[in-house]
Amino acid sequence: MTKPILPGATIGVLGSGQLGRMFAVAARRMGYRVHTYSPAEDTPTGHLSDREVKAAYDDLAAVEEFVRRVDVVTFEFENVLSDTTECAARHAPVRPGGGVLHVCQHRRREKNFLYDHGFPVTPFRNVDSFDDLERAVAELGYPAVLKTAGFGYDGKGQAVVRSAEDLRPAWESIGEVEAVLEAFVEFEREVSVVAARGLDGDFCHWGVVENEHSNHILDVSTPDAPVSDSVRALAVEVAHGILEALDVVGVLCVEFFLAPGDRLMVNELAPRPHNSGHFTFDASLTSQFEQQVRAVCGLPLGGTDLLRPASMVNLLGDLWANGEPDWRAALADPAVKLHLYGKAQAKPGRKMGHLVAFGSDRAEARRRAIAARNALVKR
């Protein structure tokens, strides 16, 4: 069996955003050193790292020099070039492996992987040209969603088509590039399962989380989603199957649509800690970030029990429109926890932080989280 990478070793992180920042908190608490690599500097991850390297992902000489100084490599950002992961893997273990990123960073490969392995997925067609788009919509019908095959998140790189008049503008809006067309799903709610798989194949999860979106960006996440026992069991079973099929070592999130009749369909995969799992930092026995540390270092996974009912709300840059938010007002509720990511500039739609609130049940936790965020806006 592969030897574990023990505290005192150095973990290299490709990417430098808020996910890496919270990962670094967990890693340093456990006694690890953290190095981060990205094309930026003065980053959320870099603030908490022992070493911050600014270089392009395609600068393979810089990648090689970075990896030679760490004991294991992981990701907080999946859109890293295959050449980068291959270069890194020549000098240190890369977990999850580059093959996982190769699938998950590209919508077409991801959809085809899910379909080929028999997982429930939204109906889709591959699109390489405007003629393909016309044929695809004839098969799937209106409305439908056109999405770029690669490098899209938070609603970017996609367009809804509701009639034939929308086709040409939609095709042009995504840059006339490789894409997928997905059938529009009338769903009752969106849920996710954040799960982890260890180097020894051990599996754990944080249950089924209910997610509410605003303008295609996650807004509120509340664990213990109000779904049937059969849906709960199926969601976990599908997540487990996906992590096994991809041979994931680390954390992966499976996002689902729940349609009428308890029909569960996979929407997207994220091969790293996920926004819908941020509540685990405060509310779970082991957070998704500590679990990522444990998994990529070959340590036993920790328990995932929910300690108290909780809910998370995102803090977007829009909250800074009239100046600094009123942090004192939000924290007047003693059951609210504040996380800010250290980003230098607030922009509309940019994730600047989040709040987690606790309650006697999930409804009260959600209410308190939303109330605390509302209190941030100065009247």
DSSP string, 338-361: EEE---SS--TT-EEEEEEEE-SS
Q: How far apart are CA 34 and CA 46, in angstroms?
A: 9
Q: How far apart are CA 133 and CA 92, in angstroms?
A: 42
Q: Which residues of 75-113 are buried (b: 16+ CB within 10 A; e: fewer)?
A: bbbbebbeebbebbeebbbbbbbbebbbbbbbbbebbbb
In angstroms, the Cα distances linking 27 to 297, 341, 342, 355 are 10, 17, 18, 22
Cβ neighbors of 312 (< 8 A, separation 6 or more) are 220, 221, 222, 276, 278, 279, 354, 355, 356, 369
Judged on CB neighbours under 10 Å (0-12, 13-18, 19+), 328 is: exposed
Q: How far apart are CA 185 and CA 167, in angstroms?
A: 18
Cβ neighbors of 211 (< 8 A, separation 6 or more) are 189, 190, 191, 192, 218, 220, 221, 255, 276
Q: What is the pLDDT along the chain (379 residues), one digit of tens a residue?
A: 589 999 999 999 999 999 999 999 999 999 999 999 999 999 999 999 999 999 999 999 999 999 999 999 999 988 888 899 999 999 999 999 999 999 999 999 999 999 999 999 999 999 999 999 999 999 999 999 999 987 655 556 889 999 999 999 999 999 999 999 999 888 999 999 999 999 999 999 999 999 999 998 999 999 999 999 999 999 999 999 999 999 999 999 999 999 999 999 999 999 999 999 999 999 999 999 999 999 999 999 999 999 999 999 999 999 999 999 999 999 999 999 999 999 989 999 999 999 999 999 999 999 999 999 999 997 6
Cβ neighbors of 262 (< 8 A, separation 6 or more) are 227, 228, 230, 231
In 198-346, which ranges are E strands?
Answer: 203-205, 209-214, 217-223, 250-259, 263-270, 310-316, 336-340
Q: What's the fold here for domain 123-183?
A: Dna Ligase; domain 1 (3.30.1490)
Q: Which class does domain 189-375 fall in?
A: alpha beta
Q: How far apart are CA 256 and CA 189, in angstroms?
A: 9
The overall pTM is greater than 0.85: yes
Residue 79 pLDDT = 84
Residue 1 pLDDT = 59
Domain positions in the chain = 10-94, 123-183, 189-375
Residue 287 pLDDT = 98
Residue 152 pLDDT = 55
CB 42, CB 344: distance < 8 Å: yes
Cβ neighbors of 70 (< 8 A, separation 6 or more) are 10, 11, 12, 35, 92
Q: How far apart are CA 289 and CA 175, in angstroms?
A: 35
Residue 245 pLDDT = 98
Architecture of the structural domain at 10-94: 3-Layer(aba) Sandwich (3.40)
The span from the first CA to the last CA of the chain, in angstroms, equals 60
Residue 2 pLDDT = 82
